[in-house]
Structure 1
Amino acid sequence: MARTAAGVLAALEQLPGALGTGLLALGALLFLLVAAATSLLGVGLLVLPTALRGVRAVAERERGRLGRWGPELVGPGPLPEPLREALADPALRREARWLAGHATVGLLLSALGVLLPLYAFRDLSFPLWWWAVPREAATDSLAFWYVDDWGGVGLVVLLGLLWTALGALLIRPIARYLAARGRRLLDTAPSDLSLRVTQLTATRAAALDAHATELRRIERSLHDGTQNRLVAVTVLLGAARRAVPRDPAAAEEILEKAQLAAEEALAELRSVARGILPPVLADRGLAGALSGLAATSAVPCRVDVDVPVRCAASVEATAYFLVAEALTNTARHSGAGRADVTVQARDGRLCVTVTDDGTGGAVEGRGSGLVGIRRRVEAHDGTLTLTSPPGGPTTLTAELPCGS
């Protein structure tokens, strides 16, 4: 008896959450159906990707709910950016099947599981308060009849006992069914896991390549620039020391050259340090750092940053270098008269968009530096999309997990 009561109480704790995700699933399903119907006319194609992301967001919410009452469910990660690939995603198809069932049968069952104990409590407590309410409120839980005497009160109490018995019989099976169906459709299939492992292996290799490339760039900068400057300073200081006894005026001139070389070496060291992690990010945050980039851009640039909290330092650095590379490419190749940078935080992801009104036709991998940026973005399990039709405009969009 105690074990049965404990099982019913555990199921009662789960069902309100299932009802909440059922309501979310109903909204996402209606939105998806509207987007799919209007896409046949060409209008819904603009909102269909948003509807698909809504399906995944609700599925992730249900995975989180199920993970609180059992083994954690591993999600498939972000949706592919191209619409055709997203529609072909097997995980999304299983999520759509779960959504359709959870928004209909699952919503009704979870509502029944929540209402049964409420009805039972109302009708069993009816003798305590029926006499203090107006006649139109003195009814059973389903408002089948008005109660005028204690005989009617007894019938309401019997109905409350019926609700209690039905709850004891149905609540646990309802919770088990909803959990089993959710786990069957929302848990990552082995094929999805294999694909995910392959993707992570590829991004890890790309991240290591990008790291090695960055180390080579720093080594070249130090060797070809700073080191040569410091060697020149050493040579000039030696020449000045030897010239002091013979020609103090020449020694002073040599020392002036040595000071100039030392200042140039210091400037190059600062440039290398900024290339590793810009100090302005730590001092002024991402908004201030991007405003500084815009102020020094050769193309007039507007920056709109809406990020209420700080992201991980590596994420902010990736966003900063992405914008810096994009603005450099805009100034060099696009012939644009204006650029816009928009940064927003939504659904736990940092979305960075750089748009210019140039001639378009940008292609990744032609010395633009976008290959390295893509590797940095994908190393965070993010996505990078370049849209640049001939004639423009060019739009570079990146999505990064805020906390990675």
Structure 2
Amino acid sequence: MPSSTGEGGSGSRPEGRPGIRATVVRAANEAVAALGELVGGLGTALLALVVLIWSAVTAVTSLVGVGLLMAPALLRALHALAGRERHRLGRRGPEVFAPDPAPTRLRLALVDPTTRRELRWLARHASLGLLLGLSGVLLPVLAARDVTFPLYWRLLPEDATSTSLGIGVAQTWADALAAALLGLGWTAIILGLTPAMARLQARPGRILLAAGPDTDLSLRVAELTATRAAALDAHAIELRRIERSLHDGTQNRLVTVAVLLGAARRMVARDPSGADELLERAQSAAEQALSELRSVARGILPPVLADRGLAGALTGLAASCPVPCRIDVEAPERCAASVEATAYFVVAETLTNIAKHSGARQAGVTVRSRGGRLFLDITDDGRGGADEAGGSGLTGIRNRIAAHDGTLELASPPGGPTTLKVELPCGL
């Protein structure tokens, strides 16, 4: 009996250790993520401080008229900074949906609820958000300094302080160990408080930068309705393209195979050589049908995206393009499969248009991934004059992009060059 009790007691301790270890690992991961959020918030808080000082200077100088000239630029900077903070918060948690576009004219901005909410956020983020962000930078430095103090304290001058707070002088090992204990206290603060500090830093942005109860959401509803309609149109166009490819290509090839096989079966007894010729033609038609079927399958979702990623897929497109094309992709993180497929088809359709209509001698595709967004720039040195109404496939490209709530900008003056800029969210 005692031996069994001892076994049971010794077996209960290992069961408790993974739970403690998992708790510590989880707390450490949450603390590291929170420190990243605090440091990220420090960047926008420093910019918020600059804009806040700029706002104060503009308000004071408006009394003599000079500030009125700076007001439009200030409002654009405020709205851009608020948008950047929305993107940052969206990467770290639930997306913060922007309200209606805020005005940049001073008279309209004074009565605009979105601008007033952004100004309130600016003041809070430039003060409390800045202090919390600085804490996210200083706490790890203080903890590392004090925890490791016993390793190097003998190398310091005699009058060097023993703690990061500037209190005490290290004269004995007891002083060094006391500094290490203070470092453990900093570590405990990091593990225990930084997640709450990160939430406190983000709270003003999540409350004030989202669409408020006094914001008219009718434009956003109309935009989402148009986006849904564009997605349905793009889906219907894609289904018609697949059906047309199968009906006009693969189906006709298979009908030809069936006819040739039937004729060969009837001729095999009386004209073996003629039947053999028909079988060769049937085999050729079957191979062509298989090739077309593979082409249709690749058009639905290119397997090269899964095998080689977006960079490899676009390199393959450039290699098969008749116009020399330079590919420059800098996207360290993979986007959603539907987003990568959309980017692939946009580049493929654009390169096809360049080869057919532009008369360009060279083209370039640049892809960048920043802040949860995928940016595509496609350029060529052709004759320009691209127009969506000209049946060049740009309408279909725009519908594909709108289905992901992305944007498209086309600049194609007569004489060229042509530039197509696309922005897509990575996470849809």
| TM-score between the two structures when normalised by the length of structure 2 | 0.63
Indicate whether 1:357 and 2:372 are aligned: no
Identity between Structure 1 and Structure 2 (%)? 59
Question: Aligned-pair distance for 1:22?
Answer: 6.5
Q: Structure 2 vs 1, CA of residues 338 and 137 (structure 1 numbering), >3 Å: closer, same or farther?
A: same
> Residue 227 of structure 1 corresponds to which residue in structure 2?
251
Pick one of 278, 288, 292 that aligns with 2:312.
288
Q: Which amino acid aligns with 1:101?
A: A
Q: Structure 2 vs 1, CA of residues 92 and 258 (structure 1 numbering), >3 Å: closer, same or farther?
A: farther
Equivalent pair of 1:356/1:395 in contact (CA under 8 Å)? yes
Pick one of 101, 108, 133 that aligns with 2:123.
101
Equivalent pair of 1:29/1:55 in contact (CA under 8 Å)? no
Equivalent pair of 1:59/1:95 in contact (CA under 8 Å)? no
Equivalent pair of 2:365/2:378 in contact (CA under 8 Å)? yes
Q: Which amino acid aligns with 1:381?
A: D
> Residue 30 of structure 1 corresponds to which residue in structure 2?
50
Most deviating of 240-249 and 199-208: 199-208
SS at match of 1:390: coil
> Residue 210 of structure 2 corresponds to which residue in structure 1?
187
Indicate whether 1:254 and 2:278 are aligned: yes
CA offsets 1:352-383 (integer angstroms, 9 cap, x no match):
11111112111123221121121111111211
Q: Structure 2 vs 1, CA of residues 279 and 63 (structure 1 numbering), >3 Å: closer, same or farther?
A: closer
Task: Supply the distance in 2 between the matched residues of 1:271 and 1:63 (Cα, whole angstroms).
Answer: 38
Equivalent pair of 1:233/1:259 in contact (CA under 8 Å)? yes
Q: Which amino acid aligns with 1:56?
A: G
Q: Structure 2 vs 1, CA of residues 401 and 288 (structure 1 numbering), >3 Å: closer, same or farther?
A: same
Question: Aligned-pair distance for 1:102?
Answer: 2.9
Q: Which amino acid aligns with 1:57?
A: R
Most deviating of 230-239 and 375-384: 375-384
Q: Structure 2 vs 1, CA of residues 346 and 257 (structure 1 numbering), >3 Å: closer, same or farther?
A: same
For the aligned residue pairs, the C-alpha RMSD in angstroms reads: 4.5
Equivalent pair of 1:210/1:375 in contact (CA under 8 Å)? yes
> Residue 57 of structure 1 corresponds to which residue in structure 2?
84
Task: Supply the distance in 2 between the matched residues of 1:362 and 1:318 (Cα, whole angstroms).
Answer: 21
Question: Aligned-pair distance for 1:26?
Answer: 3.2
Q: Structure 2 vs 1, CA of residues 29 and 179 (structure 1 numbering), >3 Å: closer, same or farther?
A: closer
Task: Supply the distance in 2 between the matched residues of 1:60 and 1:95 (Cα, whole angstroms).
Answer: 17
> Residue 320 of structure 1 corresponds to which residue in structure 2?
344
Equivalent pair of 1:25/1:55 in contact (CA under 8 Å)? no
CA offsets 1:250-281 (integer angstroms, 9 cap, x no match):
11111111111111111111111111111211
Q: Which amino acid aligns with 1:186?
A: L
> Residue 370 of structure 1 corresponds to which residue in structure 2?
394
> Residue 146 of structure 2 corresponds to which residue in structure 1?
none
Matches within 5 A, 1:333-352: 333-352=357-376
Question: Aligned-pair distance for 1:241?
Answer: 0.5
SS at match of 2:45: helix
> Residue 214 of structure 1 corresponds to which residue in structure 2?
238
Structure 2: 5+ residue runs without aligned partners?
A: 1-33, 59-65, 140-156, 168-197
Matches within 5 A, 1:383-398: 383-398=407-422
SS at match of 1:272: helix
Pick one of 348, 351, 356 that aligns with 1:332.
356
Question: Aligned-pair distance for 1:25?
Answer: 2.9
Q: Which amino acid aligns with 1:312?
A: A
Pick one of 290, 308, 328 that aligns with 1:266.
290
SS at match of 1:246: coil
| TM-score between the two structures when normalised by the length of structure 1 | 0.67
Question: Aligned-pair distance for 1:297?
Answer: 0.7
> Residue 11 of structure 1 corresponds to which residue in structure 2?
none
Q: Structure 2 vs 1, CA of residues 79 and 304 (structure 1 numbering), >3 Å: closer, same or farther?
A: farther
Question: Aligned-pair distance for 1:98?
Answer: 3.4
SS at match of 1:368: coil
Task: Supply the distance in 1 between the matched residues of 2:311 and 2:90 (Cα, whole angstroms).
Answer: 34
> Residue 25 of structure 2 corresponds to which residue in structure 1?
none
Question: Aligned-pair distance for 1:20?
Answer: 7.3
Task: Supply the distance in 2 between the matched residues of 1:372 and 1:326 (Cα, whole angstroms).
Answer: 11
Question: Aligned-pair distance for 1:309?
Answer: 2.2
Equivalent pair of 1:23/1:107 in contact (CA under 8 Å)? no
Q: Structure 2 vs 1, CA of residues 104 and 322 (structure 1 numbering), >3 Å: closer, same or farther?
A: closer
Pick one of 307, 313, 330 that aligns with 1:306.
330
